[in-house]
Amino acid sequence: PLPKIKGDVKFDQLVFEYEKGRPALKGVTIDVKAGQSIALVGHTGSGKSTIINLLCRFYDPVQGRVLIDGIDIRDVSIESLRSQVGIVLQDTFIFAGTIRDNIRYGRLDATDAEIVKAAQAVNAHDFIMNLPDGYDTQVEERGNVLSMGQRQLLSFARALLADPRILILDEATASIDTETELKIQEALKALLAGRTSFMIAHRLSTIRHADEIIVLDHGRIVEQGNHDAL
Ligand code: ATP
Ligand code: MG
26-to-19, 21, 39, 50 alpha-carbon distances in Å: 13, 11, 19, 11
Check residue 124 and report its DSSP letter.
-
Query: Mind listing the pLDDT tens digit for each residue in 11-55?
Result: 999 999 999 999 999 999 999 999 999 999 999 999 999 999 999
Using pLDDT thresholds of 50, 70 and 90, give the confidence band for residue 226. Answer: confident
Residue 223's φ and ψ, nearest 5 degrees, are -150, 155
Which neighbouring-strand residues pair with 17? 23
Which neighbouring-strand residues pair with 23? 17
| Architecture (CATH level 2) of domain 9-225 | 3-Layer(aba) Sandwich (3.40)
Domain ranges, ordered by start, for the chain:
9-225
- What separation in Å is there between the alpha carbon of 25 and the centre of ligand 1? 10
Q: What is the pTM of this model?
A: 0.90
- 3-class secondary structure, 94: coil
Query: Distance between CA atoms of 65 and 54, rounded to whole angstroms?
Result: 9
Output the CA torsion sign for 122, 130, 143, 146.
Answer: negative
Is the pLDDT score of 59 beyond 80? yes
Neighbours of 208 (CB within 10 A): 14
Neighbours of 131 (CB within 10 A): 16
Check residue 62 and report its DSSP letter.
S
92-to-59, 79, 154, 205 alpha-carbon distances in Å: 22, 22, 9, 20
Query: Distance between CA atoms of 119 and 160, rounded to whole angstroms?
Result: 9
Is the pLDDT score of 109 beyond 60? yes
- Check pocket membership of 49 for ligand 1, CB cut-off 6 A: yes
Is the pLDDT score of 1 beyond 60? no
Query: Mind listing the pLDDT tens digit for each residue in 196-207?
Result: 999 998 877 788
Name the residue of 19, 26, 48 whose CB sits within 8 Å of the most ligand 1 atoms, as the mutation to test its pocket.
48
Query: Distance between CA atoms of 189 and 210, rounded to whole angstroms?
Result: 10
- What separation in Å is there between the alpha carbon of 92 and the centre of ligand 1? 20
